[in-house]
Structure 1
């Protein structure tokens, strides 16, 4: 890493020298922008040098001013949503310019950067790209701009809680999506310990967001590992362009007609302040606080963990009931196995007590098979060879288990689970989200800027991974130092994750049970009571199970009681790594303080080639510093760091005015895996004015996550251990030498319906997965008010990272003790998927009509592959809006629908029903105080739905907001 830092410092010196040289001549561009019809100034208009990022926005008086090193002649582009774009060539004086904008459509004229890392009209993008600008964000029919992203073509979202949402495109959606990159002002906001972007828990506040750009599908050639399914880039506002004080108050209701609670209030306050001095020094600060009652996880369906699908039955009808959002009932044991263990342990105790002189099994085996229970009782009471003091032990603690063992038909080959607690009794649903961000900016020259930026957020939320995790007082910070110019940038940043008081809900439920009564006592008591009840011929099997559970659960602490709260508080405040069942210490709390350090730089050499070709090069280095205190990773005694390096280059060339070809490639190397090269080739063919056909060949990959590599964690109430897939973990748990058995064969063997089948791990361990993506699309304007965008894609995945559950015998052949492990592995063979999308936007006067439909399909799968495509085949959105249907009154309505599909994850799998939902808002502009009042709601028809199986149902949110200077 030291060599990398040295190289970066040298690069800074070179870039500074180049930048200062470029500043040899600069001019000031200034003027005003007015509405042509009313002659009133228009604030917020973007004025930029065409094809460049340099520019400014008009203030409240319609004035703008900025400096540029471009020498006349050059062209200025003046754009504002709802008005026709003006382009004017500047050949002489550039001060006191005057522009008049006319109302009209500007479809397809938005400038995007992320598709090629260079400014270009969205119409001319070589790959599919979606964008939300300030106008769309301000007028979105959603509670926040982040929620509104799900209305974009091809986008799907997994809602795990009110503030924790994961986005995805083109299949293989997931809770906490590790196949989807999310960048905030160039910073990767993934939590280093959790491995994925934490929604918008930390990020840009709504008042500070400038725009959002989305790249569906593979994007590794430009943005590195991870973006197999897509990359989302959020950019905040520049304090030089957007100054002043803004604030927003929002309040509303959710949980309307919720069976679990009355309607609950939510409230949010946002503020932004920005100021610049002499176009040299700038500063900004943004703040947001939200408080609400979260959505409840209330799925009590019975779950079959072997098939990872729901099954019939409930707690009353199924002794092995395992509710999806019920925790503690994951702890399960086979009745016959418990019976055998109790019989053997009691027999050994009797042998010890009698000095080995009396073996009850030898004595009872002398009786013929089928001997009635009463005969055994009579033998114990009348046989003079049996010591009198031993008879109560034999009658009450040994005989029932011996009898059940000798008469298999008497005891079913049935698993029994402990009684669990509902999620609502274990998880903290009092959601809070506090976000703060700020930055200091200094312009060395009109084109070279140094910035220091900090984003920090904390809150309480719920996240679904291999378990349901209650994130309490979780916080994460992103801190960046960046130097950038027109042709380069150099940045370094760190992501600092702190788990706060977060804990695992299933372990909490299980350990409350353990503190009440240890499983070593609960299961024998259950079995003894069951056998005793079945000795009465009139008692049915169901009645015996009911009696057994009632006896074993006697004195079980109840939710809400003082004892329950006391146990829960003890466990929530004890780290997982401190758990010691022998001493009665139980912990469910994380202790994660993992960090990410990232350094990168890029230089655009196009100007050196007089823009005949576009040529860019860049490099990056990052380190994951994992620190969980043994509560997530195997780092209780070992230090874990992961170093990664990368370099990329891109070359683009225009052939006349009709075709542009771009070639890019990136090489990435992680210390634990072989290096990867990801090429990209794109072409854009202009078939007519504002009509372009695009084609691309892209590749992407992702390294196994930090958890895929180094996790060492008990989940499922402690019934399963998740471990990393590196060879060192396979060796640590002897999974190569002491081969485990497949989950399916283990369950068959326990049921007596089949033999154990060994599972053989690849000694290389888990490896990176990759995708090859092909895309063909068209985007064009028909006239000036009808925009069409259509594309099709085909993806081919290799070494797809999935997971396998195995059972290893850590005992002996005669006295087996099986331990369940969850291990990440690569799927054999190739996985393919294809699909497409069609979108259109039509502007008629002040009305905008929009619609899009997306199709995704998974092709044939390799044998034994877990289908986690997790994507509906069909989704569509329909929208209508008017920025001013009456004077200063506008509205926006969006309808979203998706088909049913099957969801599969390490937490739960099942069918997600089809649903449709309506979002709407009406807004009133108050120009006299530069304010906006909005009344609206998401899912306004209040039809509760789920986006992924095992996650909470989402109902309506109704709100009213007041924004000043938005």
Structure 2
């Protein structure tokens, strides 16, 4: 961490000096904002100069102060959610300005920053943007602001557990979405090693969040790699504006009418403390702790890993059953092949016995007759130890051994993962104001917890923790920041590997379980049993020593395996591990300067640059870093120029260049135009480009998953060479040809001519990119109706997907999952419409979105994972009667097919209803909220293979919200 901060301080005072010199000719604008009726100061009011950049928000007592290069006369605009906007012209003194706001629900008054990286009215944003303010967050019906993101138009999520949700917009949703960026106070919230945004696991607590801004679509021109489908920016509260002590206690229940569990408690405590002195120094600290019983994944559909889809059958009817949320049954073998292996071993160890058995069979003796003969005739006493193998030889000779996939008996997820969800978040920051506009911030966010995450497997995240530490110097026109993300996997492990290795501890698969199964099956078939009866008898015999859930043997094996790292596994010594040991770090620093004020607002001009380093450190448990250290460097720079042409049109052009260690540099441009067709009515047009590098795992993963039945490897050329997948003699075979090969087993003889080799691109996996076209309209039709609509069309190139290949290693096939780029172009298109209407104090809202994928290239695996239609409806009133308000939100989405590296299947259409009623108690600065999410308690899934969620009912008490 010190290396990044050292570099920052090299330029810290230089930048500060430049900014101070630039402000030498500027003036200070200051005053107070009050409630017109109570005459009390209002905190957090946005105060800006009309038509220009810059401004501030009022402090806790309503005072405000900022510096500007603007010359009087100019107009001050004050806006705040729940109040009407006030404009006041300044012609003389710029200090001592008094502004008074009246209570009113106003539409379109928000000021946003993320759309252009400079403050602007949301009505004038050049691209689609959604915003959630601190006031609206207090009124949401969902248990957390993160859950309420689904109420924004076009937003969808994949819920992997109670505290783990992945946010997405505009299609291609996924678990741990890597096409969507999330930032907390300017810090990238993605875990650098595990490649998922930690979202509501660590970061901002509900009491400390000031606002959320969401940019659907590409944003690489301003924010760099990633975010080709969207960017979420979360900003915490400033201690100069929000001071004092606050706390919130929320208690409730979930698992109501849940077949998997009795009703369980849900508890959460949030605390925030903030204080400032003389408008110079400020500090804040926030804490949150949540404890609950997680949702349980219990999809036991029979999953075909070759076809990547569900097939008929269960453990009783299908000997090769592989449950979606059952682990250990991924390990399988062909029964006919196993029988031949047992017979070959018997023949090699006892040629005489093998010959004698075949002689008896050739003479026409039945299996029972041979058993009786050997057991009673002293002449054949030497053959008695070999009798267990008789059934195998007899069944193979008679052709009664089925060419059938047989899997080991798996363990249900609830027996393997930790559902005792915990989440603890802590943050602290110190602020120092050098001048009214230049501030130094030192910030630390740290969180730990227990949750369940879905990637290529189900990962039990136990005591997972991640810290983010930032130092930032910022002013009205610039910022310079450096931060590091320190990821620690704690006691986390992979559930399927745990299930498989518990099986190995009870009975080694190759050495014991399959031979036992085969011998028992063959004996039953040789005695005339049906195939189904023989399979059942064989499984009962092979599982006789299986460690049953709840038994001492199971508990001991589970503890040993989940606390042993994957890289320490040594089957020859009986050592097995499912734990991954990730200690990956990210170091990032960036800066930006806005020259607009120096140019007297004649032209908007910004420049910025960034650099980051990933240090991959997993000890060989995720990455190929057991015997080496892997670092990835990325750097980039951008510039943006904007110009207003009168009062009717604004044109903005931006571009960014980025370079990564393993990939060529690339340029991403952006062009936007905003047409003002009437006051508060704007049409926007944009062409944006975006790209994302293959994730750290796409580049360097080397991991066994699926209970050891598959290996995930990086898509860089070095991995193709490591496993011989780019060498003609050892190339892997395509999945389609491998399936055809398996289906060709007739009479026990497969047709190898059906196998077709797969040729990888010699360049390996490369960054994917998108060209995004959008047209939108946002406007006020009178003071009561706000309309926001857009339509988009995206063209993706080098879309990062994955391919499975099957390599023949000594007669056995090994499956490899390898990231590749899809050939051809992938397109998607859609649109959304949002309406907000005011009826007195009533706020009626609704939005609908449509998303569709275009024609697909040949052999492309469709992972659009997005419903065509989804909509939200809302109704709220902050004060039906004095101090009493309510809010309800209804959400519906259509069915769709989900496809991922973990599982694939149909996600049914579902609807949810969230609601809350609240009571303010001004005398003690408190409020009480009674609410619930999915209050009709209709269990639903958002993505296949993940748990179904029911209702959460809660009661919350908040002091000084």
By how many angstroms is 1:743 displaced? 2.5
- Matched with 1:364 is 358
1:685-725 deviation line (CA, Å, top 9, x unaligned)? 11111111101111111111110111111111111111111
By how many angstroms is 1:668 displaced? 1.0
- Matched with 1:799 is 798
Where 2:98 maps in the other structure, the secondary structure is strand
- Matched with 1:562 is 552
1:396 is aligned, of 388, 398, 401, to 388
Mapped partners of 1:705, 1:803: distance in 2: 13
1:524 is aligned, of 490, 515, 519, to 515
2:23–2:69: 8 Å Cα contact kept in structure 1?
no
Gaps of 5+ in 2: 746-750
Gaps of 5+ in 1: 352-357
Matched, 1:586 2:584: no
By how many angstroms is 1:509 displaced? 0.8
1:184–1:233: 8 Å Cα contact kept in structure 2?
yes
Equivalence map 1:330-409=2 (5 Å): 330-350=330-350, 358=352, 360=354, 364=358, 373=367, 390-397=382-389, 399-408=390-399
Mapped partners of 2:691, 2:330: distance in 1: 35
Report the RMSD for the aligned CA atoms in angstroms: 2.2
- Matched with 2:748 is none
Q: Matched residue pairs, number?
A: 949
Mapped partners of 1:547, 1:123: distance in 2: 71
Mapped partners of 1:14, 1:32: distance in 2: 33
2:488–2:584: 8 Å Cα contact kept in structure 1?
yes
Change (3 A) 1:606 1:371: farther
- Matched with 1:169 is 169
Where 2:386 maps in the other structure, the secondary structure is helix
Mapped partners of 1:390, 1:834: distance in 2: 76
Matched, 1:482 2:472: yes
1:715 is aligned, of 705, 708, 721, to 705
Mapped partners of 1:600, 1:289: distance in 2: 32
Change (3 A) 1:518 1:881: same
- Matched with 1:491 is 481
Higher mean C-alpha displacement, 66-75 vs 619-628: 66-75
- Matched with 1:466 is 456
Higher mean C-alpha displacement, 71-80 vs 371-380: 371-380
By how many angstroms is 1:72 displaced? 4.9
Matched, 1:744 2:736: yes
Equivalence map 1:520-919=2 (5 Å): 520=510, 521-537=512-528, 539-737=529-727, 738-752=730-744, 755-811=754-810, 816-919=811-914
2:479–2:591: 8 Å Cα contact kept in structure 1?
yes
Higher mean C-alpha displacement, 374-383 vs 306-315: 374-383
1:35-62 deviation line (CA, Å, top 9, x unaligned)? 3345555454333444444423253xx5
By how many angstroms is 1:195 displaced? 1.3
Where 1:160 maps in the other structure, the secondary structure is strand
Matched, 1:157 2:152: no
Where 1:606 maps in the other structure, the secondary structure is coil
Mapped partners of 1:771, 1:714: distance in 2: 32
By how many angstroms is 1:389 displaced? 6.1
- Matched with 2:292 is 292
Equivalence map 1:160-199=2 (5 Å): 160-199=160-199
By how many angstroms is 1:926 displaced? 0.9
Mapped partners of 1:53, 1:656: distance in 2: 20
Matched, 1:419 2:409: yes
By how many angstroms is 1:25 displaced? 5.9
Higher mean C-alpha displacement, 648-657 vs 873-882: 648-657
2:566–2:580: 8 Å Cα contact kept in structure 1?
yes
2:395–2:525: 8 Å Cα contact kept in structure 1?
no
1:741–1:808: 8 Å Cα contact kept in structure 2?
yes
1:251-287 deviation line (CA, Å, top 9, x unaligned)? 1010011111111111111111111111111111111
Mapped partners of 2:294, 2:360: distance in 1: 64
Mapped partners of 1:839, 1:707: distance in 2: 37
1:626–1:641: 8 Å Cα contact kept in structure 2?
yes
1:884-936 deviation line (CA, Å, top 9, x unaligned)? 01100111100000000000000000000000000011111111111111110
1:418-469 deviation line (CA, Å, top 9, x unaligned)? 1111101111000000001111111111111111111000000000000000
Mapped partners of 1:172, 1:623: distance in 2: 27
Mapped partners of 2:855, 2:428: distance in 1: 49
Where 1:946 maps in the other structure, the secondary structure is coil
Change (3 A) 1:438 1:369: farther
By how many angstroms is 1:406 displaced? 3.4
By how many angstroms is 1:158 displaced? 0.5
Mapped partners of 1:806, 1:376: distance in 2: 45
By how many angstroms is 1:750 displaced? 2.9
Where 2:470 maps in the other structure, the secondary structure is strand
2:81–2:110: 8 Å Cα contact kept in structure 1?
no
Matched, 1:442 2:432: yes
Length-normalised TM-score, structure 1: 0.95
1:295-347 deviation line (CA, Å, top 9, x unaligned)? 00111111111221111111111111111111111111100111121112222
2:392–2:523: 8 Å Cα contact kept in structure 1?
no
1:30–1:63: 8 Å Cα contact kept in structure 2?
no
Change (3 A) 1:286 1:375: same
1:796-837 deviation line (CA, Å, top 9, x unaligned)? 1111111111111111xxxx1221111111111111110000
- Matched with 1:355 is none
2:374–2:381: 8 Å Cα contact kept in structure 1?
no
Mapped partners of 2:959, 2:933: distance in 1: 22
Change (3 A) 1:71 1:863: closer
Matched, 1:965 2:956: no
By how many angstroms is 1:853 displaced? 0.1
By how many angstroms is 1:197 displaced? 0.7
By how many angstroms is 1:10 displaced? 5.6
1:46–1:58: 8 Å Cα contact kept in structure 2?
no
By how many angstroms is 1:96 displaced? 3.7
1:775–1:791: 8 Å Cα contact kept in structure 2?
yes
By how many angstroms is 1:843 displaced? 1.1
Where 1:675 maps in the other structure, the secondary structure is strand
1:632-659 deviation line (CA, Å, top 9, x unaligned)? 0010001111111111111111111111
Where 1:674 maps in the other structure, the secondary structure is strand
Mapped partners of 1:893, 1:42: distance in 2: 27
Mapped partners of 2:100, 2:64: distance in 1: 16
1:452–1:482: 8 Å Cα contact kept in structure 2?
yes
Mapped partners of 2:935, 2:222: distance in 1: 40
Change (3 A) 1:342 1:234: same
By how many angstroms is 1:235 displaced? 0.5
By how many angstroms is 1:744 displaced? 3.0
Change (3 A) 1:359 1:530: closer
- Matched with 1:91 is 91
Change (3 A) 1:370 1:80: farther
Length-normalised TM-score, structure 2: 0.96
- Matched with 1:20 is 20
- Matched with 1:354 is none
Mapped partners of 2:836, 2:846: distance in 1: 7
Mapped partners of 2:555, 2:940: distance in 1: 31
1:139-194 deviation line (CA, Å, top 9, x unaligned)? 01110111111110000010000000000000000000010000011100110111
Where 1:176 maps in the other structure, the secondary structure is coil
Matched, 1:254 2:251: no
